[in-house]
Chain A
C-alpha cells in the first residue's frame, strides 16, 4: 500500500475558505442559507465552512448533520450493516437553500441518498452540493456546485480525507492498494 498526499492541511484550509466565498456569492448573501454535513467527515467540514462564512460575513449559518444510512440503496449488498451515526437538523428546511457538504464525491449515490433524506424533512428552496474532493466515476447524474479539488482517479484507488476533528490531522491522501470494489466503496462512505 502506497499513500500519496494530494492535499496538505493548508491547502484544505484555503479550499474551504474559497468554497465559503463561492457559496455566499452564489446566494448573493447569507439570507436563507443553511449547511448540512453528511456523516461522518462532511460534518466537521460543514462546520468549518460555516466558521469561514462567519469570519467574512459576520453571520453564523445554521449547521446540521445528516446520516444517510437508512437511505442507502445497497443495504442488502454490504456484508456488515453500516453503523448509524446520527442525524441532527436543528432548523426548518422549508424554503431554505441547503448546501450539502461531504468530503469525497465519487459515485453520487451518497448524495442521492442525502437528497432523499433532506426532502423527507421538508421542502428546501434549493439543494446545493459542496465537496472537498471530486474523484469522478459518477454512476448517477449528479454534479457538485463547489469543489475543493478535482482529482482524477482510477476505481482501484482510495481517497482518504483526514480531518483534525476525527483523525487528528488535516490531509488528503490517495492509496493505490487494490481492493474489491465493495471495500473501496465502503471506505469512501
Chain B
C-alpha cells in the first residue's frame, strides 16, 4: 500500500462512481480540499461563490434523506444552482428509461449529475451518455464513494491522519452494503487493518474478495479480514462501524430474526467495551436502533455518527468542486 502523504497536485477524473479509481495521493487531495470546505462551514456565512452558476442535478431513484440533503447543501454552499429530481413524482413513473431521463436532464442544462439507483452499475451507464460529470450517490450493492470518503475523513479527524495499522471493524450486513464495498477500497488504500464481520449468510462472497486482496495482489491496497466472530472483530479496534440491517433487501431467510441478529452481532455497550480506549463508533445511517446498534451506544461519547453527517457536507463540497474544475483534456476517463 502507498504511504504518500503529499496530496495529488491535480484532479483528473471526469466522474466519480467508486473510489476504486483513486490513487492514495488523490485520496489525500480530497481530504485536503474537504478540510478547507469544513473551514467554510465554520464561517459566519457558510457559502462561497466557487461554483456560481454551475448546475447540479440530483436524481435519486431510491429513498434517501441525508445523502440527498447533504449533496444539495454542499452544492448550495458552493453557490451552484440545484435541481432536484424525485423519481416518485417524475416521468420515471410513466416508464421513462434511465437513458432517456439522463438525456432529458442534460438537455435541461444539468452539468453535474448526482445519482442514486437501486441497480448496481447504473451510474456507469449514465456516465456513458452524459456529457457532464456523474457523481455516484449510491448504486445497489456496488458503491457509495462519498460515504467512504466521509468515513475516511471522520476517522482521520478523530484518530490522526495516518491510519496505517489502525484496526477498523465493520459489522453488519456486508453482503448488501455498498458502504462496506467502497470502504474496502479506501481503508485498504489507507493501510488500515480492516475487519469485516457479520453472519455467514451476510458475508457471502467476501472471503473471495479477501483472498483477491491478500498479499498486496491489488496495487496500492492492503489485505483485509473476514469473520463471523464479532468479539474478535471489535477487540482492540480503533473504529467500530455498524451497518444497517437492510430489511428491504432481506429475502430467503438470510437472518433467522432481527432479535437474534441483535443478540449475536448488535453493537452493545459490552461489545464496544472490548475496543481500544478512545475508539470511535460509526454508522452510515439510517440506524435501526436496538438491532445493529444499541441506543445508548449510538448517543455515547464514543459515537461520531453526527460528525459523519456534518463531514459529509464538506466532503461532497470538495468532490463537486474538484469535478467541476479541470479540462476534458486532463480527464483519464474516455470522453464520448
Contact A80 B325 (CB under 8 A): yes
Contact B47 A79 (CB under 8 A): no
Of the candidates B32, B51, B78, which one forms a contact with A84 in the assembled complex, judged by CB atoms under 8 Å apart?
B32
* Those of B177-208 within 8 Å (CB) of chain A: none
Q: Which chain A positions have C-beta within 8 A of B9?
A: 80, 83
User: B37-45, B62-70, B269-277, B290-298: which one contacts chain A?
Assistant: B37-45
B51 nearest CB neighbor, chain A only = A75
* Those of A34-57 within 8 Å (CB) of chain B: none
Contact B325 A67 (CB under 8 A): no
Number of contacting residues on B, CB 8 A?
27
User: B16-24, B91-99, B131-139, B326-334: which one contacts chain A?
Assistant: B326-334
Number of contacting residues on A, CB 8 A?
20
Contact A87 B39 (CB under 8 A): yes
A119 to chain B, nearest CB (A): 9
Q: Which chain A positions have C-beta within 8 A of B327?
A: 79
Contact A81 B325 (CB under 8 A): yes
Mark interface residues in A66-89 (1 if CB within 8 Å of B CB, else 0). 010111100110111101101100
Q: Which chain A positions have C-beta within 8 A of B325?
A: 75-76, 78, 80-81
Q: Which chain A positions have C-beta within 8 A of B48?
A: 70-71, 117, 120
B8 nearest CB neighbor, chain A only = A83
Q: Which chain B positions have C-beta within 8 A of A79?
A: 326-327, 329-330
Contact A71 B326 (CB under 8 A): no
| A29 in the interface (beta carbon within 8 A) | no
Contact B50 A71 (CB under 8 A): yes
| A121 in the interface (beta carbon within 8 A) | yes
Q: Which chain B positions have C-beta within 8 A of A75?
A: 50-51, 324-325
Bound complex: CA of A116 vs CA of B79, how far in Å?
14
Most buried by B among A69, A78, A117, A120: A120
| A9 in the interface (beta carbon within 8 A) | no
Mark interface residues in B60-100 (1 if CB within 8 Å of A CB, else 0). 00000000000000000010000000000000000000000
Q: Which chain A positions have C-beta within 8 A of B261?
A: none
Q: Which chain A positions have C-beta within 8 A of B39?
A: 86-87
Contact B321 A81 (CB under 8 A): yes
B7 nearest CB neighbor, chain A only = A83
Bound complex: CA of A75 vs CA of B9, how far in Å?
16
Q: Which chain A positions have C-beta within 8 A of B330?
A: 79-80
Which residues in A have some Cβ–Cβ distance to B below 8 Å? 67, 69-72, 75-76, 78-81, 83-84, 86-87, 116-117, 120-122
- List 24 interface pairs A-B (beta carbons < 8 Å), by A numbering: A70-B40, A70-B48, A70-B78, A70-B321, A71-B49, A75-B50, A75-B324, A75-B325, A76-B324, A79-B326, A79-B329, A80-B11, A80-B325, A80-B326, A81-B321, A83-B7, A84-B32, A86-B39, A87-B36, A116-B49, A120-B43, A120-B45, A120-B48, A121-B45
Which residues in B have some Cβ–Cβ distance to A below 8 Å? 7, 9-11, 32-33, 36, 39-40, 43-45, 47-51, 54, 78, 321-322, 324-327, 329-330
Additional pairs, 9, CB under 8 Å, beyond known A67-B36, A76-B325, A120-B44? A69-B36, A71-B48, A79-B329, A80-B10, A81-B325, A81-B326, A84-B33, A121-B43, A122-B44
